[in-house]
């Protein structure tokens, strides 16, 4: 049986699946501008629902091609920092005064994951202003939190829209929300929902009780793979700036002319750099559970060392003997350093890191990576100079 105190027939929004605090008090401060309601002109809004406070934007659980194309673009870093919706109150389906209120972030992927996972349900969605950051990250960054939640409750007039005083907050947002403070300031009781939006219907049918499985967050292959595009794009931008001088410097020295040397020596340098980037941004998330070491930097180092050996083995020693040996050593230092550095980007989106552990890792890993990369660059430059001198 459905618990009518928590859910009415129709649509319910939930929480973000993506790896998404404070701003004001129960209401806006006297010197703050009033918070505006969300616009009815947003592309994903399908209409409006009349409430005692006026029209509220209505949204559907059915995602349109624009929503899916926007998600693809955001995954590849196109407009990602501005991929957000207006904060405020939304109606999903045909909610009434007894329909549940679900809280989310104003990162559009979070809102879409919420509504898209819950067809056939009615609910109110209270979207917080997280500056376009998802729930999990915003809870740690300070934008999905107690004060912002209280501000949105007051600004939306939620107490006049619903007859109950219950909120369902994503479990991943719990680090930023103090339930007792929300209760004291707004009168609304906070209940933490399950990890996955897809579990919300079962959670609500069970009277707001989550099973142990609903409270456990994994990090399976699909969730790791979905992180690759944005990490790869972010890594390629500086890599391209480094690749151009590597290619040109490769033309210095060698038995042939400048451009022939650049294609052979510089081209290999660009290939080695690209291999390090692909290792840190693509292979590491895919192979994460099986790589040795606990720290992400250590996992990246061992992966980078394997990549360096494969790349150097495929090439073999070419050119003057000593210059070739020094170049081999240069890439044995540089490739693991780059891969390990990129590997640390995943500490913020994995499910088993902690702030203290990340801080400790950063202190020793960054020094090591900088030292290895600098040593590799110096040796590579030395090898090019020796090749120029015919050594």
> In this model, does residue 33 exceed pLDDT 80?
no
Domain shared by 304 and 266, yes or no = yes
> In this model, does residue 341 exceed pLDDT 70?
yes
Average pLDDT of span 167-188: 95
Domain shared by 68 and 156, yes or no = yes
C-alpha–C-alpha distance, residues 3 and 245, integer Å:
65
**How far, in Å, are 124, 211, 335 from residue 51 at the CA level?**
12, 35, 60
**Residue 77 resides in a domain:** yes
Please state, as a whole number, how many other Cβ atoms lie within 10 Å of the Cβ of residue 44: 18
> In this model, does residue 46 exceed pLDDT 80?
yes
Domain shared by 322 and 337, yes or no = yes
> In this model, does residue 348 exceed pLDDT 90?
no
Query: Which of 217, 235, 251 is where one domain is finished?
Result: 217
State the pLDDT at residue 318: 53
Domain shared by 210 and 226, yes or no = no
Q: pLDDT for 8-18, tens place per residue?
A: 323 223 333 33
**Residue 2 resides in a domain:** no
Residue whose C-alpha is closest to residue 58's, from 40, 36, 43: 40
Average pLDDT of span 68-87: 92
What secondary structure letter does DSSP report for 280? Answer: I
Q: pLDDT for 359-383, tens place per residue?
A: 788 889 999 999 999 999 999 988 8
Strand (E) or helix (H) holding 272? helix 267-278
> In this model, does residue 27 exceed pLDDT 50?
no
What pLDDT band is residue 352 in, cutting at 50, 70 and 90? low
**Residue 236 resides in a domain:** yes
Query: Which of 217, 244, 275 is where one domain is finished?
Result: 217
Domain shared by 205 and 237, yes or no = no
How much is the CA Rg of the chain, to the nearest whole Å? 26
Domain shared by 85 and 234, yes or no = no
Domain enclosing residue 50, as ranges: 8-217
Side-chain half-sphere CA neighbours of 127 within 13 A: 33
Instruction: Look at residue 112 and give its three-state secondary structure.
Output: helix
C-alpha–C-alpha distance, residues 322 and 12, integer Å:
68
Residue 168, beta-bridge partner list: 102, 191
Domain shared by 198 and 286, yes or no = no
Average pLDDT of span 20-42: 55
> In this model, does residue 154 exceed pLDDT 80?
yes
Full DSSP string of 87-105 = -EEEEESS--TTS-EEEEE
Domain shared by 268 and 330, yes or no = yes
Domain shared by 143 and 287, yes or no = no
Query: Directed axis angle between helix 267-278 and helix 228-249, to 10°?
Result: 160
**Residue 79 resides in a domain:** yes
Q: pLDDT for 108-136, tens place per residue?
A: 999 999 999 899 999 999 999 999 999 98
Q: Is 72 exposed, middle or buried (0-12, 13-18, 19+ CB in 10 A)?
A: exposed
> In this model, does residue 287 exceed pLDDT 70?
yes
State the pLDDT at residue 389: 66
Query: Which of 190, 217, 244 is where one domain is finished?
Result: 217
**Residue 1 resides in a domain:** no
Could you give the number of structural domains in the chain? 2
Largest CA distance in the chain: 85
């Amino acid at each position: 049986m459905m618990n009518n105190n928590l859910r009415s027939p129709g649509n319910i929004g939930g929480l973000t699946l993506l790896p998404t605090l404070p701003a004001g008090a129960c209401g806006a401060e006297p010197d703050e501008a009033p918070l505006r309601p969300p616009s009815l002109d947003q592309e994903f809004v399908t209409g409006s629902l009349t409430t005692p406070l006026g029209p509220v934007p209505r949204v559907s659980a059915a995602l349109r091609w624009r929503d899916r194309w926007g998600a693809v673009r955001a995954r590849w870093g196109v407009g990602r920092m501005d991929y957000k919706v207006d904060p405020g109150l939304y109606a999903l389906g045909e909610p009434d005064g007894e329909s549940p209120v679900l809280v989310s972030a104003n990162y559009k992927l979070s809102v879409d994951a919420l509504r898209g996972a819950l067809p056939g349900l009615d609910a109110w969605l209270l979207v917080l202003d997280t500056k376009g950051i998802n729930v999990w990250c915003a809870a740690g960054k300070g934008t999905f939190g107690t004060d912002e939640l209280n501000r949105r409750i007051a600004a939306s007039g939620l107490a006049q829209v619903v007859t109950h005083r219950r909120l369902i907050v994503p479990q991943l947002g719990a680090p930023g929300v103090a339930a007792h403070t929300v209760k004291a300031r707004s009168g609304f009781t906070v209940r933490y929902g399950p990890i996955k939006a897809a579990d919300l219907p079962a959670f609500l049918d069970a009277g707001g009780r989550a099973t142990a499985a609903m409270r456990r967050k994994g990090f399976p292959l699909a969730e790791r793979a979905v992180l690759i595009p944005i990490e790869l794009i972010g890594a390629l931008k500086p890599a391209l700036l480094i690749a151009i001088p590597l290619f040109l410097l490769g033309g210095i020295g060698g038995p042939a002319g400048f451009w022939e040397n650049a294609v052979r020596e510089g081209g290999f340098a660009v290939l080695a750099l690209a291999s390090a980037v692909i290792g840190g941004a693509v292979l590491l998330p895919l192979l994460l559970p099986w790589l040795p070491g606990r720290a992400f930097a250590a996992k990246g180092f061992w992966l980078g060392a394997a990549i360096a050996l494969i790349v150097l083995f495929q090439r073999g020693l070419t050119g003057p003997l000593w210059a070739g040996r020094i170049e081999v050593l240069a890439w044995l230092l540089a490739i693991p350093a780059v891969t390990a550095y990129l590997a640390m980007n995943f500490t913020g989106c994995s499910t088993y890191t902690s702030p203290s552990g990340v801080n400790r890792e950063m202190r020793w890993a960054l020094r090591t990576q900088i030292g290895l990369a600098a040593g590799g660059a110096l040796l590579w430059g030395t090898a090019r100079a020796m090749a120029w001198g015919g050594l």
